[in-house]
Chain A
């Protein structure tokens, strides 16, 4: 069992829908990252959070440390949001970049 689990693995939505991607982790982490990987492979860091909630444009990320769970929400989804979304947890100790990665959620937003 992966220490960081994402659900769903694949998600298809219609343009305009509200989208939620979930991430659960079984290890103690000091911070959690949400990453976006576009076709072609390039990765963009969306959020890094260690508590509460962060918002950037139509994207919202929340984390509940006690429940070891984080969610990424996309409001008013658009076809350009189609990508793979990856959550990754930073273990206590070790290098900052030594993250435990989920396998990603592939999102397709249809026009």
Chain B
């Protein structure tokens, strides 16, 4: 069966420090991978998505970057964190549901990032 691992669960970092959040998927190959952020009091927002190794698309301009060095590994990074980067970060992978033309999403457990 497919599983998705995301770590760490919580992270407290000072402003200006680097960031690396990792997400790995097991039990599937060539998944679509996503990074979302949920800021306090706001809905989820898509940050990056990847349809294959080395292929990254960004939905919003920001201080963060993403990389996909392996098929089932998705990394969210920053060279220098800002206060506004605080939030709840979720990794997800998707599998096509051909009957609807859509995609079923499976989410990781999330990382609560506090930038102080």
Type the 1/0 row for A1-40, where 1 means its CB is closer than 8 Å to any CB of B. Answer: 0101000000000000000000000000011010100001
A1 to B: closest C-beta gap in Å: 13
Q: Are the C-beta atoms of A45 and B106 separated by less than 8 Å?
A: yes
Count class of interface residues, chain B: 20 to 34
Q: Count chain A residues whose beta carbon lies closer than 8 angstroms to a beta carbon of B.
A: 27
Q: Provide the bound-state CA to CA distance between A30 and B100, in Å.
A: 9
Main secondary structure of the interface of A (DSSP, over half): strand
B70 CB–A CB distance under 8 Å: no
Q: Which residues of B contact A76 (CB under 8 A)?
A: none
Q: How many A-B contacts if CB must be within 8 Å?
A: 80
B90 CB–A CB distance under 8 Å: yes
Closest partner residue, chain B, to A2 (CB atom): B43
Q: Which residues of A contact B46 (CB under 8 A)?
A: 95, 97-99
Q: Provide the bound-state CA to CA distance between A76 and B104, in Å.
A: 26
A111 CB–B CB distance under 8 Å: no
Partner of B90, one of A31, A41, A88, A90: A41
Residues of A within 8 A of B (CB): 2, 4, 30-31, 33, 35, 40-45, 48-50, 86, 88, 90, 95-99, 101-104
Residues of B within 8 A of A (CB): 32, 34, 36, 38, 41-46, 49, 51, 57, 59, 88, 90, 92, 94, 96-97, 100-110, 112
